[in-house]
Amino acid sequence: MGRKDKIRVLFVCLGNICRSPAAEGILKKLIAENSLDGAIEVNSAGMSAWHEGELPDSRMRAHGRLRGYDFCSRSRPFNSLDFERFDYIIAMDESNYADLLSFAMTDEEKTKVRRMTDFSTRYTHDHIPDPYYSGDSGFELVLDLLEDACAGLLKFLRGEI
Ligand code: 4NP
């Protein structure tokens, strides 16, 4: 084993029914495909509690299913205790990023907060756009961006294991 026995990653968006549960499902699939179960733990949360307890948005589930994913987490709000539970807290957009930083109490907590697009390799987008009021193309774009950023993130995390 390397420096850490386990790395814990939390994805955060606004509602925890579109972007962050999709990121969670995509990274979990990559982890399984790379036999890294047990080395990396993944979870997701929302900056709001508007959809607490709900499955991901049916449109996101349908678009994910077309790519072989089963997005099945339940929405939950972000909690300050998440700063203790997770090593990386990854924001989907600038609003989530600013909100998370405002919750951080220490420099150590602040350094845990990252932007999802920092891990992009093929795209130059600086945030993952909220697809809630968009059509099919918005959901497809989110999945394209997340698949790319999750691959980049996994490469980064491998260096930490
Ligand atoms: P998410 O998308 O933050 O990617 O889960 C949204 C979900 C719900 C709402 C907004 C964004 N909403 O306004 O209820």
At residue 113 the predicted structure's pLDDT band, cuts being 50, 70 and 90, is very high
* C-alpha radius of gyration, the chain, whole number: 15
Over the stretch 57-66, which tens digit does the pLDDT of each residue have? 999 999 999 9
- Asked if residue 157 lies in contact with residue 136, where contact means CB atoms within 8 angstroms, the answer is no
- For residue range 121-139, what is the model confidence (pLDDT) as tens digits? 999 999 999 999 999 999 9
Q: For domain 3-157, give the CATH superfamily.
A: Response regulator (3.40.50.2300)
- For ligand 1, say whether the CB of 50 is within 6 Å of any of its atoms: yes
User: 160: CA distance to ligand 1 center in Å?
Assistant: 31
Q: How far is the CA of 108 from the centre of ligand 1 (A)?
A: 28
Domain ranges in the chain are: 3-157
157 lines ligand 1 (CB under 6 A): no
Supply the residues annotated as catalytic.
13, 19, 130
Q: Distances in Å between the alpha carbon of 144 and those of 1, 24, 77, 122, 149?
A: 32, 14, 25, 10, 9
Question: Whole-model pTM?
Answer: 0.97
The DSSP letter of residue 54 is P
